[in-house]
C-alpha cells in the first residue's frame, strides 16, 4: 500500500472520510426535510382535489365559471336598470321653490303663493295662486332651462330662484 494515491496526498486520508461522512449526514438531513415537505404538499393537494362531497377540481372550476357568467349577466341587468333609473330621475321634478305672500294688502293673510317645480335641466313650471275675496286664481308659467318667455312677478322670480338654488 505504499504506492497508494492516498499516501501521496500530503495529509491524512481520514480527513477525507470524515468530510464525506459529514456531507452525507447533511444531505440525509436535507432529504428527510424535503420528504416531510413533500408529504405536507401531497396532503394539501389531496385535500384540494377532494373538495366538498368528493367533487373533483374540474367540477369546482366549472361551477365557478357558471357562477361568474351568471354574475356578469346580473351585473349587465343591474347596469341597465341603473341607466333607466338615472334617465327617469333626470326627467322627474327634483327642485322646487315656494313663496307665500299676501296678494292684496289689508285682506286676509298669506294665502297666495308661487310654487316652482323644475327637473334636472331646470325645465318645468311655476304655479301662482292668487287668493282674493272674489276667488282664487291660478296661473301657470312654463320654464325652459331656467328661463321663461312670460314676465314673472317678484314672488314668482323668488320661487324660481329658490328652485334654481340661488336663494333659500
Enumerate the domain spans of the chain. 51-89, 95-164
Q: Which residues of the chain have pLDDT under 70?
A: 1-4, 6-7, 50-56, 108
Q: In the prediction, which pLDDT does 104 show? A: 81
Q: In the prediction, which pLDDT does 97 show? A: 94
Which residue in the block uniquely carries the three cell numbers 336598470?
Answer: 81
| DSSP class of 76 | H
Angle at 35 between CA 27 and CA 55, to 5 degrees: 160
Instruction: Look at residues 113, 89, 115, 118 and name the one whose alpha carbon lies nearest to residue 102.
Output: 113
Question: Which tens digits make up the pLDDT trace of 125-135?
Answer: 999 999 887 88
Contact 128, 114 (CB under 8 A): yes
| pTM across the whole model | 0.54
Q: In the prediction, which pLDDT does 21 show? A: 96
* Cβ neighbour number for residue 136 with a 10 Å cutoff: 11
Amino acid at each position: 500500500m505504499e504506492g497508494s494515491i492516498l499516501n501521496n496526498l500530503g495529509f491524512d486520508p481520514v480527513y477525507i472520510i470524515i468530510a464525506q461522512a459529514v456531507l452525507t449526514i447533511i444531505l440525509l438531513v436535507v432529504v428527510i426535510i424535503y420528504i416531510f415537505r413533500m408529504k405536507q404538499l401531497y396532503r394539501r393537494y389531496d385535500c384540494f382535489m377532494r373538495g366538498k362531497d368528493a367533487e373533483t377540481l374540474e367540477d369546482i372550476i366549472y361551477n365557478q365559471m357558471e357562477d361568474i357568467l351568471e354574475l356578469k349577466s346580473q351585473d349587465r341587468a343591474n347596469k341597465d336598470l341603473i341607466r333607466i333609473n338615472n334617465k327617469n330621475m333626470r326627467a322627474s321634478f327634483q327642485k322646487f321653490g315656494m313663496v307665500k305672500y299676501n296678494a292684496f294688502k289689508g285682506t286676509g293673510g298669506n294665502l297666495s303663493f308661487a310654487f316652482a317645480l323644475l327637473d334636472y335641466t331646470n325645465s318645468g313650471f311655476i304655479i301662482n295662486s292668487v287668493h282674493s275675496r272674489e276667488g282664487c286664481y291660478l296661473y301657470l308659467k312654463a320654464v325652459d332651462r331656467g328661463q321663461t318667455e312670460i314676465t314673472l312677478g317678484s314672488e314668482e322670480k323668488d320661487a324660481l330662484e329658490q328652485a334654481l338654488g340661488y336663494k333659500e
